[in-house]
């Protein structure tokens, strides 16, 4: 069975508007990234929203959870802004059971050429195929359980709660 990909936006998909000089969202680059990676795992990509994760509300998170529950697939990768990725993971862990859900993102937009997104996407796709049901965050080559992860705002890296003060 194929793997479900839910796109919610985040730095992953940000682009540079050369007229205004602002960063903005247009289309998702997920399809292009899977092609670049010569991915042959069957994936089914659906965009749920296209926003900065600071703008994701709990209502949005409920919506994401609902989509996870209703999806036919039991393996799901979610692309998400890094700032509130841990919050979404936490809510999904409460609302969805029996599925393997891996949330990932990027620190640098894919379109800016030196993105960590392709690396993270490769790792997320591998983790979702191998881990037992549960909700995880895949960043920095690592995989964190939904209830034991936070983004270190100073370094931009993800870490276990138990390792941080």
| Options 130, 162, 163, 164; binder of a copy of itself; rule CB under 8 A | 130
Q: How many residues does the chain have?
A: 165
Cβ-based nearer residue to a copy of itself, 48 or 125: 125
Q: How near is the Cβ of 62 to a copy of itself at its closest, in Å? A: 25
DSSP 64-93: HHHHHHH-S-SEEEEE--STTHHHHHHHHH
SS3 label, residue 135:
strand
Q: How near is the Cβ of 68 to a copy of itself at its closest, in Å? A: 20
Q: Does residue 139 belong to the site contacting a copy of itself (CB under 8 A)? A: yes
| Options 153, 162, 163, 165; binder of a copy of itself; rule CB under 8 A | 153
Our CA angle for 121, 97, 123, nearest 5°, is 15
Cβ-based nearer residue to a copy of itself, 6 or 158: 158
Cβ-based nearer residue to a copy of itself, 53 or 65: 53
Interacting positions 29-68 with a copy of itself (CB under 8 A): 33-34, 36-41, 52
Q: How near is the Cβ of 17 to a copy of itself at its closest, in Å? A: 10
Q: Does residue 118 belong to the site contacting a copy of itself (CB under 8 A)? A: yes
> Cα-flanking dihedrals φ and ψ of residue 72, to 5°?
-70, -35
49-79: b (≥16 Cβ within 10 Å) or e? ebbbbeebeeebbeebbebbeebebebbbbb
Cβ-based nearer residue to a copy of itself, 28 or 65: 28
Q: DSSP state, 115?
A: -
């Amino acid at each position: 069975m194929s793997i479900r990909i839910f796109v919610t936006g985040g730095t992953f998909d940000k682009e540079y508007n050369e007229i205004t000089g602002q960063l903005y969202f247009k289309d998702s680059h997920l399809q292009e990234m899977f092609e670049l990676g010569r991915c042959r795992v069957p994936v089914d990509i659906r965009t749920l929203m296209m926003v900065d994760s600071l703008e994701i509300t709990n209502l949005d998170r409920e919506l994401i959870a609902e989509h996870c529950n209703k999806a036919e697939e039991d393996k799901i990768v979610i692309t998400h802004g890094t700032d509130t990725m841990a919050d979404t993971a936490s809510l999904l862990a409460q609302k969805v059971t029996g599925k393997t859900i891996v949330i990932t993102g990027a620190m640098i937009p894919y379109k800016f050429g030196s993105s960590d997104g392709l690396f993270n996407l490769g790792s997320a796709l591998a983790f979702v195929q191998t881990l037992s049901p549960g909700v995880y965050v895949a960043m920095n080559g690592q995989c964190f359980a939904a209830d034991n992860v936070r983004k270190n705002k100073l370094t931009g890296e993800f870490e276990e709660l138990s390792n941080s003060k």
